[in-house]
Amino acid sequence: MNRQKTVWVTGASSGLGLHTALALRDAGWTVIAGARSFAQAEEKEGIHQLPLDVTREESVQAFCDAALEISPWVDAVVQCAGMLVLGSCEETTVEEYQRVMNTNFLGMVRMNQQALPIMRAQKEGRIVMYSSINGLMGIPFQNAYTASKHAIEGYAEGLQMEVRPFGIQVALVEPGDHRSGSEKYRPHGAKMGPESPYAAAYDSATAKIHHDETHGSDPDRLGRKVARMLDRKWMPFRRRIASPDQHLAVYLHKFLPARWNEAILRAYYIK
């Protein structure tokens, strides 16, 4: 008898996590969604919502225990929890870097360390981690976020080599700009202001970042693509979901000399 597959989705209260959770629900999955803003366990609009703070070990453990009571299977984990801090490399504080890395990268590590023993016992499972095209290339004033996504890219490569013998597949989703998310997860660095030596360049770059996000691609379409990817027998290891110009930027970054890339990206973000 075929059973309904179960997926855990982190960061599912807003942004790409929410759109992914909805797409998976519509595709017939049992969706167990976690987010810090979920105050209590409840089922809403066909999705099981559980409190989850991926930066806290005890919260991750509590989420996993509660999820296993809903369904004893973990067919897939889709990790979307994330945040960024906008600021210059010089003025972004160590505490701000730590907060971003703790959420974006170490949050995934914590979730994987809970899910992997279950998947090994099942002899199958799928782990999807949301990276970004910023995991492939850097842009100015989004450096903590970029560093965290680069960390995810390298971590995922090693993870796939380790877990493939257990029937576990790993995939990276690399979104470009999409219309989604909340400004509370995009704070400006505490030290950024008119007195900063980077103020003019910072204002130009962050205005461009905001414009690209608010005029970005359809997040529902991204969610549907991820749902279809999870239904394939073999997932691609990398799935970049972006606009044509963002695909082009990644290719140029890969093949052009570093100085050319710097000149192109600086001209785009800093007027």
Catalytic residue among 131, 132, 148, 180: 131
Q: Which helix (H) or strand (E) holds 18?
A: helix 15-26
What is the distance between the alpha carbons of residues 149 and 158, in angstroms, rounded to a whole number?
15
Helix (H, G, I), strand (E, B) or coil at 166: helix
Catalytic residue among 88, 132, 149, 180: 149
Residue 131 annotated among the catalytic residues of the structure: yes
Integer angstrom CA distances of residue 123 from 104, 167, 198, 235: 27, 5, 52, 16
Beta strands 47-51 and 42-44: pairing type?
antiparallel
Q: Is 88 a catalytic residue?
A: no
Residue 13 appears among annotated catalytic residues: yes
13, 88, 132, 180: which one is catalytic? 13
Question: Strand runs (DSSP E) across 161-249, as ranges?
Answer: 168-175, 238-241
C-beta atoms surrounding 211 within 10 Å? 11
Contact between 147 and 83 (Cβ < 8 Å)? no
Q: Which of 130, 145, 202, 269 is catalytic?
A: 145
Asked if 155 is an active-site residue, the reply is no
Residues serving a catalytic function are: 13, 131, 145, 149
